[in-house]
Amino acid sequence: MINKKVNNVQEALQGIENGMTLMLGGFGLCGIPENSIAELVKKETNNLTCISNNAGVDDFG
């Protein structure tokens, strides 16, 4: 079996480059990929296409 566990958000987003398409899992408020979004903003990654059923609410996420 493949081990897909990572130690932190930086490790999880390693290899993400400008122009990529990402699918972000989760459902409802318990599944908002808030740490991933914040880290992508810090990295100044741009021109991403993000697919998610719920990336946030109003002014969060």
Q: What is the pLDDT of residue 55?
A: 65
Distance CA 54, CA 22 (A): 13
Give per-residue pLDDT as tens, 9-47: 999 999 999 999 998 776 667 777 888 888 988 988 899
Distance CA 36, CA 14 (A): 11
Q: What is the pLDDT of residue 7?
A: 95
Give per-residue pLDDT as tens, 42-61: 988 899 998 877 766 777 66
Measure CA of the first residue to CA of the last residue in the chain; give whole Å: 32
Q: Compute the radius of gyration of the chain from its Cα atoms.
A: 12
